[in-house]
Amino acid sequence: MSSSGRSNHKLWNQKLMLPYILRRILIMIPTLLGVSIIVFFMLHVTPGDPAELLLGERATDEALLQLREHLGLNEPLYIQYGMFLKRLLKGDLGETIWTRQKVWIEVKQRFPATIELSIAALIISCVFGIFFGIVSATKQYSILDYLSMIGALVGVSMPIFWLGLVLMLIFSLHLGWLPMSGRLSIGIELETITNIYSLDALLTGNWAAFKDAVWHLVLPAFTLSTIPMAIVARMTRSSMLEVLKQDYIKTARAKGLSRFAVTMKHAFRNALIPVVTTIGLQFGVLMGGAILTETIFAWPGVGKWMYDAVMQRDYMVIQGGTLFIAAMFVTINLVVDVLYAVINPRISVR
């Protein structure tokens, strides 16, 4: 493609990009409405009195009456849903049953821990996944290729909660190399800014806390990263194989470029686009996996909070947490799609 052609294309894409983003946001609205309907009606199709479910068995009659009034439980369902939506739009997710705190505040407290864990897991899965994918593709049908592809298959076939426990058994309990649970050791002081501990430690220049926070991250992040790592490795391999077949790779080799330069500069950069999309799609896997991983490693994030809520039947937390996670997930997918359209000049935004 000539350079003028390319800039035309860019211009054309820029002109269409804004409507494309707006359209995607518009499509998001019915999906989120649907999510809220599901979350709302699940509480109401559950046998039993919603007020009692929300307040727990030991609630006083007065409290029940008050909640019925507040939620309008005596009104018809569609009006109740309207009120629920109105509260949602104001950012009111209700109060938790056990701690009597705003659900939104609890989400905000716990979300940074989940973000920290997910990002660490994503970094691990990208680094190793891409590495093994490239090695596999450049040495197709070699022992290395077979081993890493079998490893990838085992990775997606493994129950991650089990892997987490096995890693804990080996690395914390037997070898004593890594901490078993939590985010920081007792006695380590850290001034929190973002509540992402490793970042906070860096920002405040607190090296001891940084090392400790990263140390605590290793096992849970590695556990959470296995499935995305396997998926990224397989995607990188197939995408690289596709590209390595192209004529321009032969040309680059014929020009006398080193194998390494061809692999990295010519092949990998072109193979990257489907890989980036795959990586973007892994957030869903991470969010779901976070519930299991956080539970095992007592990682105080949104996942463990949701699990505790399920165990204690705190339906307000389940409701609010589900809405929050689904909204995050839909938004991240939207961002990934838009970024994909921006990165890839070949995709038409129409």
Site residues (vs another protein, CB under 8 A): 30-32, 34-35, 38-39, 42-43, 45-46, 153-154, 156-159, 161-163, 165-166, 168-169, 173, 234, 237-238, 283-289, 291-292, 295, 306-307, 310-311, 313, 315, 318, 322, 325-326, 329-330
Q: Which residues are CB-contacts of 272 (< 8 A; sequence separation ≥ 6)?
A: 239
Kindly tell me which of 175 and 311 has the beta carbon lying closer to another protein.
311
Cβ-defined contacts of 205-213 (< 8 Å, 24+): 209/184, 212/184, 212/185, 212/188, 213/183, 213/184
SS3 state at 102: strand
Kindly tell me which of 98 and 329 has the beta carbon lying closer to another protein.
329
The Cα 223–Cα 211 span in angstroms is: 19
Shortest distance (Å) from residue 287 CB to another protein:
4
Shortest distance (Å) from residue 86 CB to another protein:
21
Kindly tell me which of 18 and 42 has the beta carbon lying closer to another protein.
42
Q: Are 313 and 102 in contact (CB under 8 A)?
A: no
DSSP assignment letter at 175: S
Beta bridge partners, 102, equal 95
The two three-digit tokens of residue 115, written as one number: 């973000």
Kindly tell me which of 154 and 343 has the beta carbon lying closer to another protein.
154
Kindly tell me which of 120 and 286 has the beta carbon lying closer to another protein.
286
Shortest distance (Å) from residue 19 CB to another protein:
20
Kindly tell me which of 106 and 212 has the beta carbon lying closer to another protein.
106
The Cα 237–Cα 138 span in angstroms is: 9
Shortest distance (Å) from residue 76 CB to another protein:
21
Host H or E run for residue 185: none
Shortest distance (Å) from residue 208 CB to another protein:
29
* Token pair 């660490």: residue: 120
SS3 state at 210: helix
| Chain center to CA of 21 | 21
Kindly tell me which of 202 and 281 has the beta carbon lying closer to another protein.
281
Shortest distance (Å) from residue 305 CB to another protein:
13
The two three-digit tokens of residue 340, written as one number: 């994909």
SS3 state at 301: coil
Shortest distance (Å) from residue 285 CB to another protein:
6
DSSP assignment letter at 258: -
Shortest distance (Å) from residue 212 CB to another protein:
23
Tell me the DSSP string of 225-247. HHHHHHHHHHHHHHHHHHHHTSH
Kindly tell me which of 201 and 290 has the beta carbon lying closer to another protein.
290
